Amino acid sequence: MFSQDRVANFINQSFEATWESVRPVPIVRIDFGNGNVLTRTLHGNILTSICTPNGFVVDALPGIYTAPEYLTQLGVLGAVAKNAQTARADRRDYLVRAYHRGQAQALKKNAKPGQAAANRARLAITKSLIERPVELALLPILPVVVPQPQAKPETKPALTAAEDVAQWKELEEDTRLNERTRRLQIHELLAGTGLVQPEKVMRPIYKDVLHADLDDPYLGLGKTLFATYPFAKEDAVH
């Protein structure tokens, strides 16, 4: 995804970006013989955190997203982070907790992802500043503009092979799951922690939200991998 001009340009213009590895990725290799080797990795165990310039997490996107949704969410989160940064220092933590509380409530009410931001914009027009709930204080007033593909508004890439179509559907499904379920978990976590350094929440998010326990050499899959393996005792001896 970071090879796409649209994505890379938006990130370069809007953020100071860095990446880091939390552990080696599990690699599965199946040697079918005669030089036919299948190599795959476990996808989806990624976390995008948006932080203030002084290094505190404002919000985070768990797992993989389609590029259009990723950009849309990054746009909103970037605006939230800027609003948090411009708020009074002694109120930032309070506002960030309130923001997460509001987002979690909205998701629990089955509001569409991004609906809270739209509500925030409407409130800005129809109600006075004083009446605005604190939960919406950090959300952008105006809709965030993210770059769209030049050809058509439809962002789904032209796919031909059945495998590509299946992968795209999986990605769309993952995106929905991330926005509905995993984002809710992250909002609930960050509503409790407030502004926090990334290393303080990285392991809990990987374990509880992405279901990949970084402290377990088998990422929490040990029971599944070994429960029915008939030679476990023999291997243990060796």
Partner 1 sequence: MNRTMWRLCLGCLAGVGVVGGAILLLTHAIADGKQSPKPPNQPPAVNLAQTPGKNVLDILNVRDFGKSVIEVPTKKLLAAQTAGAAMPPRDAFVNPKVQPGKVRWHRDFAAACRAAQKSGKPVLLFQMMGKLDDQFC
Tokens of 64: 């993989």
Q: Which is nearer to partner 1, 49 or 175 (CB)?
A: 49
Residues with Cβ within 8 Å of 205's Cβ and at least 6 positions away in sequence, in order, are 47, 60, 62, 186, 189
State yes or no: residue 71 binds partner 1 (CB under 8 A): no
Residue of 16, 90, 154, 163 that binds partner 1 (CB under 8 A): 16
Q: Considering the rule CB under 8 A, would residue 142 count as an interface residue with partner 1? A: no
- 87 binds partner 1 per the rule CB under 8 A: no
CB of 57 to partner 1, least distance (A): 8
Number of residues forming the site for partner 1 (CB under 8 A)? 51
* Positions in 195-214 near partner 1 (CB under 8 A): 198, 202, 212
Straight-line distance from the first to the last Cα atom of the chain, in angstroms, rounded to the nearest whole number: 43
CA distances in angstroms from 71 to 6, 21, 149, listed in the order given = 9, 22, 11
Smallest gap from Cβ 108 to partner 1, in A, equals: 26
Euclidean distance between CA atoms 227 and 230, whole angstroms: 8
The answer to whether residue 128 forms part of the interface with partner 1 (CB under 8 A) is no
Binding partner 1 (rule: CB under 8 A), the pick from 74, 106, 107, 117 is 74
Give 211-220 contacts, CB < 8 A, sequence gap 24+. Answer: 212/42, 212/45, 214/22, 214/23, 219/26, 219/42
| 20: contact with partner 1 by CB under 8 A | yes
Amino acid identity, residue 46? I
| 161, 135 contact by CB (below 8 A) | no
Nearer to partner 1, 17 or 159 (CB): 17
**Binding to partner 1 by residue 18, rule CB under 8 A?**
yes
User: Which residue's CB is nearer to partner 1, number 50 or number 146?
Assistant: 50
- Burial zone of 147 (CB within 10 Å; 0-12 exposed, 13-18 middle, 19+ buried): middle
For partner 1, the closer of residues 123 and 214 by Cβ is 214
Closest separation in Å from C-beta 53 to partner 1: 4
Q: Looking at residue 214, what DSSP letter applies?
A: T
Within the chain, what is the greatest distance between any pair of CA atoms? Answer: 72
Q: Measured from the CB of residue 4, what is the shortest distance to partner 1 in angstroms?
A: 8
Binding site for partner 1 (CB under 8 A): 1-5, 7-9, 11-12, 14-27, 29, 39-42, 45-55, 57-58, 74, 77-78, 81-82, 85, 198, 202, 212
